[in-house]
Structure 1
Amino acid sequence: MTELLFYHLQRRPLESVLPPILEKSLARGWRVVVQASSDERVDALDAHLWTYRDDGFLPHGTDRDGLAAEHPVVLTVRDHNPNGAVVRVLVERAPVPADAATYQRIVVMFDGEDDEAVAAARVTWREKKAEGFEVTYWQCDETGRWQKRG
């Protein structure tokens, strides 16, 4: 059964939340596809993942570089799975893919400061729960730790 994890971004921006999630996925041996809604966001995330830490980087590529099947993490705007990922991360209201049931885990990250993004996440939550997906809601507490709320 595919898990859908909803991450409510309030106290921390996507750029600080995404890398640890990707690192944990890679540590488990999982391949990941990150889907954004714009090429500009893909480009920004691509640059960020090479430089977010002084002591390392996160191995990844985009679906435009011709080697997507070889990358453990692929950034894209398309609804496809070019590297055989078992985890899909959706940012900027990227839609849950039609093949959602083929993933072990789908992470929906939404901006808690954007009322439209919150409303869209609620709709997606209800729809996917009604379809039988296992859904959980995660919120960052005052100390910066993620807490499961639902």
Structure 2
Amino acid sequence: MSEVGFYHLTRSSLEEALPRLLEKAHAAGMRILLRAGSRERVDALDRHLWVYRPDSWLPHGCRADGNAPLQPIWLTEQVENPNGATLLVLVDRAADDDLASFARVLDLFDGGNEDEVAAARARWRARREAGHRLVYWRQTERGAWEKASQEG
């Protein structure tokens, strides 16, 4: 079973926190699949990852770019893994039917949105029942991540 990390965004927006998490995973040599809830969201995140910081360069691609096997980070709204990723990053309650095929999963959700928090709690219960190892991460006052709890 996969290790699923729940990332409760309380100090940063997704657009602020996501690039830093992707940078760390990429620097560690991981191949990453970022799955969003819609094609429009994929397009917006694709644009954002090119410009989020003036001195940044985070190699990634999506269907419009092609060559999925060559992309270290692949953005999609579909249940697929065309770049052979071992890390799945989920945003916007994206489909999660294939969690067990990834070594690690990051599930990011907006702590300022009650519906998002309730949906994350439901996903936690379902993933616990499915036997995944669960880790809950919360943001500190400065926006860093600290492990708050772990199950499994």
Cα separation, 2, equivalents of 1:63 and 1:72: 14
Aligned position for 1:100: 99
Q: TM-score, normalised by structure 2?
A: 0.93
Question: How much has 1:76 moved relative to structure 2?
Answer: 0.5
**CA offsets, 1:40-83, max 9 Å, x none?**
21111111111112113110001332211210001100011010
Q: Residue 109 of structure 2 corresponds to which residue in structure 1? A: 110
1:20 aligns with 2:20: yes
**Cα distance in structure 2, aligned partners of 1:65 and 1:56:** 19
TM-score of the aligned structures, taking structure 1 as reference length: 0.94
Amino acid paired to 1:34 = L
**Given residue 132 of structure 2, which amino acid in structure 1 is its aligned partner?**
F
| SS of 1:149 mapped into structure 2 | strand
Q: Deviations over 1:13-51 (max 9, x none)?
A: 011111111111111111101011111211111111111
In structure 2, distance between residues paired with 1:7 and 1:111 = 9
Percent identical residues = 48
1:35 paired residue number: 35
Give the aligned residue type for 1:148: K
Q: Which residue of 2 aligns with 1:3?
A: 3
Structure 2 matches for 1:1-150, cutoff 5 A?
1-96=1-96, 98-150=97-149
Query: Aligned to 2:117, what secondary structure does the other structure show?
Result: helix
State the shift of 1:2 in Å. 1.2
Contact kept, 8 Å, 2:78 with 2:95, in 1: the verdict is: no
CA contact (8 A) 2:6 2:107 kept: yes
Q: Tell me the secondary structure at the aligned position of residue 5 of structure 1.
A: strand
Distance between the aligned counterparts of 1:106 and 1:120, measured in 2? 16
Question: One-letter code of the match for 1:47?
Answer: R
Alpha-carbon distance in structure 1 between the residues aligned to 2:120 and 2:43:
24
Q: Distance in 1 between matches of 2:27 and 2:87?
A: 13
Q: Which digits, 9 at most, give the CA deviation of each residue in 1:110-146, with x for residues without a partner? A: 1111111111110110111121111011111112221
Structure 1 contact 35–88 (Cα < 8 Å) conserved: yes
Q: 3-state SS of the aligned residue for 2:58? A: coil
The number of aligned residues is 149
Residue 149 of structure 1 deviates from its aligned partner by 1.0
Secondary structure at the aligned position of 2:109 is classed as: strand
